[in-house]
Structure 1
Amino acid sequence: MDKDIVVIGGGPGGYTAAIRAAQLGGRVCLIEKDRLGGTCLNRGCIPTKALYRNAEILNTLKNTEKFGINIHEYKINVDKIMKRKQGIVDKLVSGVELLLKRNGVEVIEGTASILDRNTVLVKNKKGEEIKISTKNIIIATGSKATSLPIEGAYLSEVMKSEEILNLTKIPKDLIIIGGGVIGMEFAAIFNSMGAKVSVIEALPNILSSVDREISKRFSILAKKKGIKINISTKVCKIEKSNEELIVYAEGKKGKLQFKGDTVLISVGRIPLTEGLNLEKTEVEFTREGIKVDSNFETNVKGIYAIGDVNGKCMLAHAAAHQGIAAVENIMGVRSQKKNNLIPSCIFVFPEIASIGITEEEAKLKKIDYKVSKFSFGANGKALALGEEEGMVKVIGRKDDNRIIGVHIMGPHASDLIHEGALAVSKKMKVEDIKEVIHAHPTLSEAFYESVMGLQGEAIHMLNKTS
Structure 2
Amino acid sequence: MAENFDIVIIGSGPGGYVAAIRAAQLGKKTAIVERENLGGICLNWGCIPTKALLRSAEVYHNMKNAAAYGLKADNVGYDAAKVVERSRKVAAQLSNGVKFLMKKHKITVYDGVAKLAGKGKVAVTKDGKPVAELAAPAIILATGARARALPGLVPDGKLVWTYREAMVPPALPKSLLVIGSGAIGIEFASFYRQFGAEVTVVEVMDRVLPVEDAEISAFAKKAFEKQGMKILTSATVKALKKGTDSVTATIEAGGKSSDVTVERVILAVGIVGNVENLGLEGTKVKVEKTHVVTDEWGATGEPGLYAIGDLTGPPWLAHKAMHEGVICVEKIAGVKGVHPMNKENIPGCTYCLPQVASVGLTEAAAKAKGHEVKVGRFPFIGNGKAIALGEPEGLVKTVFDAKTGELLGAHMIGAEVTELIQGYTIARTLETTEAELMATVFPHPTLSEMMHESVLDAYGRALHI
TM class by smaller structure: over 0.9
Moved more, 59-68 or 170-179: 59-68
Between the aligned partners of 2:74 and 2:427, the Cα distance in structure 1 is: 46
Equivalent residue letter for 1:245: V
Q: Secondary structure at the match of 1:279?
A: coil
Q: Secondary structure at the match of 2:272?
A: strand
- 1:407 counterpart (403, 411, 414): 411
Moved more, 210-219 or 240-249: 240-249
1:34 is aligned to 36
2:422 is aligned to 418
- 1:230 counterpart (229, 232, 239): 232
Deviation at 1:286, TM superposition (A): 2.2
1:209 aligns with 2:194: no
Residues 379-436 of structure 1 show CA distances to partners (whole Å, capped at 9, x for unaligned) of: 0110001001111100001112121101110110000000010112221011112232
1:261 is aligned to 263
2:433 is aligned to 429
The within-5 A match list for 1:57-68 is: 57-68=59-70
Equivalent residue letter for 1:127: K
Between the aligned partners of 1:202 and 1:150, the Cα distance in structure 2 is: 16
8 Å contact from structure 1 (residues 325, 334) kept in 2: no
Between the aligned partners of 1:6 and 1:386, the Cα distance in structure 2 is: 50
- 1:239 counterpart (241, 266, 274): 241
Deviation at 1:240, TM superposition (A): 2.0
1:361 aligns with 2:385: no
Residues 88-116 of structure 1 show CA distances to partners (whole Å, capped at 9, x for unaligned) of: 11111111101111101000001011122
1:381 is aligned to 385
2:99 is aligned to 97
Deviation at 1:305, TM superposition (A): 0.3
How many pairs were matched up?
Answer: 461
8 Å contact from structure 2 (residues 275, 311) kept in 1: yes
Structure 2 CA distance for partners of 1:35 and 1:102, relative to 1, 3 Å? same
Between the aligned partners of 1:149 and 1:55, the Cα distance in structure 2 is: 33
Name the % identity.
Answer: 36
8 Å contact from structure 1 (residues 374, 446) kept in 2: yes
The answer for unaligned runs of 5 or more in structure 2 is none
The within-5 A match list for 1:210-359 is: 210-340=212-342, 341-359=345-363
Equivalent residue letter for 2:297: N
| TM-score (norm: length of structure 1) | 0.96
Deviation at 1:55, TM superposition (A): 0.8
Moved more, 232-241 or 353-362: 232-241
1:43 is aligned to 45
The within-5 A match list for 1:179-218 is: 179-218=181-220
Equivalent residue letter for 2:397: K
Q: Secondary structure at the match of 1:128?
A: strand
User: What RMSD over aligned residues (CA atoms) do the two structures have, in Å?
Assistant: 1.4
The within-5 A match list for 1:106-185 is: 106-125=108-127, 127-150=129-152, 153-154=155-156, 156-185=158-187
Structure 2 CA distance for partners of 1:66 and 1:389, relative to 1, 3 Å? same
8 Å contact from structure 2 (residues 8, 140) kept in 1: yes
| TM-score (norm: length of structure 2) | 0.97
Between the aligned partners of 2:310 and 2:401, the Cα distance in structure 1 is: 32
Equivalent residue letter for 1:74: V
2:456 is aligned to 452
Q: Secondary structure at the match of 1:419?
A: helix
Between the aligned partners of 1:403 and 1:151, the Cα distance in structure 2 is: 41
Moved more, 422-431 or 332-341: 332-341
8 Å contact from structure 2 (residues 249, 259) kept in 1: yes
- 1:53 counterpart (52, 55, 73): 55
Structure 2 CA distance for partners of 1:436 and 1:33, relative to 1, 3 Å? same
8 Å contact from structure 2 (residues 324, 341) kept in 1: no
Between the aligned partners of 1:147 and 1:85, the Cα distance in structure 2 is: 25
8 Å contact from structure 2 (residues 159, 245) kept in 1: no
Between the aligned partners of 1:303 and 1:253, the Cα distance in structure 2 is: 48
Between the aligned partners of 1:175 and 1:334, the Cα distance in structure 2 is: 51
Q: Secondary structure at the match of 2:137?
A: strand
Deviation at 1:289, TM superposition (A): 0.7
8 Å contact from structure 1 (residues 153, 237) kept in 2: no
Structure 2 CA distance for partners of 1:160 and 1:25, relative to 1, 3 Å? same
1:464 is aligned to none
Equivalent residue letter for 1:457: R
1:441 is aligned to 445
Residues 162-184 of structure 1 show CA distances to partners (whole Å, capped at 9, x for unaligned) of: 11101021110011111111111
Q: Secondary structure at the match of 2:31?
A: strand
Equivalent residue letter for 2:315: C
